[in-house]
Structure 1
Amino acid sequence: MALRLTLKPNEKIVINGCVIRNADRRQMLTIENHADIVRGVDLLAEDEAGTPVKNVYYFIQSCLLRPDIRDELVPVIHKDLAKLVPIFHEEIGGHIFEAANHVSAADFYKAMRALRPLIEYEARLLDMIKGKENLATAAE
């Protein structure tokens, strides 16, 4: 089954490691066979990978973009995902197991997609912690 992608004007997409940028108009691409594909909006810059979940996401992204390092990174990703399990409650933690299953199946884009809700949840937790620290500092 073919994959249809509609690209916004000037949107980036990476196909098998090749960065492609759309022109000024909306375009549709049809990918007829299997390829490693990720949209530019789904990419995380290395300097943004400063939290445990974003770090794992970045490693998964690296597997998607660089097939030559997959064999090295997959065990690291599984180990880092396992470290996250006791941190998150069962409802949100299911995304960790989903990501691990996708990594095992070498479906790295789906693994990244599985971690997105966890990244959002982690950000909310970190914002709450920062808010409490700011309150404590202000009270002193």
Structure 2
Amino acid sequence: MPLKFVLRPNEKVIINGAVIGAGDRPGSFFLYNTANFLRGREVLKEEQIDCIEKKLYFVIQLVYIFPEDSTLNLQRFASILEETREAQPDAAKTLDEIARLVEGRNYYRALKLCRKLFKGGDGGAGNDGDSPSEAQAPDDTPMTDRMP
């Protein structure tokens, strides 16, 4: 079953490392096969990193979007995860789950869980703070989790 999502006017999405943008009007897209994707509002830019939790999110994002660099970025992830554990001892259970998800290559769900740790509870990676759920299947699962 394909995954349908709608991009707002001028909104962007990264699909398997390629940036795709909508024009002046909303556009519907269907993904028929396995793909790694993040909508623009889910993408955290390096200059937006202002806490250790966002640093952790950013490195998971790099592993997810750029699998060709995953070896180096997974090493960075391990280091940043330990820094986050020291800075957030009360979040041990969540960080354990994030580590489990990353180990299982379920990067999108790890990102989703990591967003919940952001200070201020905004949960949004992008500038508009919108929930990414509009882009997802009913269970909020991306294509990489839905298809074998």
After TM superposition, the score normalised by the length of structure 1 is: 0.75
1:97 paired with 2:96, answer yes
> Does the 8 A contact of 1:53 with 1:122 survive in 2?
no
Matches within 5 A, 1:105-124: 105-121=104-120
1:71 paired with 2:71, answer yes
Counterpart of 1:74, as a letter, is L
Per the TM alignment, residue 44 of structure 1 is displaced from its structure 2 partner at its CA by 1.2
Q: Percent identity?
A: 27
Q: In structure 1, how many angstroms separate the alpha carbons of the residues matched to 2:4 and 2:101?
A: 21
Deviation digits for residues 63-120 of structure 1, max 9, x if unmatched? 1221111011113212321332243354x44332222122112222221111111013
Name the counterpart of 1:33: 33
- What's the RMSD between the two structures over aligned residues? 2.1
Name the counterpart of 1:48: 48
Change (3 A) 1:120 1:4: farther
Number of equivalent positions: 122
Q: Identify which range, 6-15 or 49-58, moves more after superposition.
A: 49-58
Q: Identify which range, 18-27 or 72-81, moves more after superposition.
A: 72-81
> Does the 8 A contact of 1:8 with 1:22 survive in 2?
yes
Counterpart of 2:24, as a letter, is D
Structure with the larger RCO, 1 or 2 (CA within 8 Å, 6+ apart)? 2
Q: In structure 2, how many angstroms separate the alpha carbons of the residues matched to 1:42 and 1:32?
A: 21
Q: In structure 2, how many angstroms separate the alpha carbons of the residues matched to 1:24 and 1:66?
A: 28
Q: In structure 2, how many angstroms separate the alpha carbons of the residues matched to 1:115 and 1:121?
A: 13
Name the counterpart of 2:143: none
SS in 2 for 1:83: helix
Q: Which has the higher helix share?
A: 1
> Does the 8 A contact of 1:56 with 1:81 survive in 2?
yes
Name the counterpart of 1:23: 23
SS in 2 for 1:25: coil
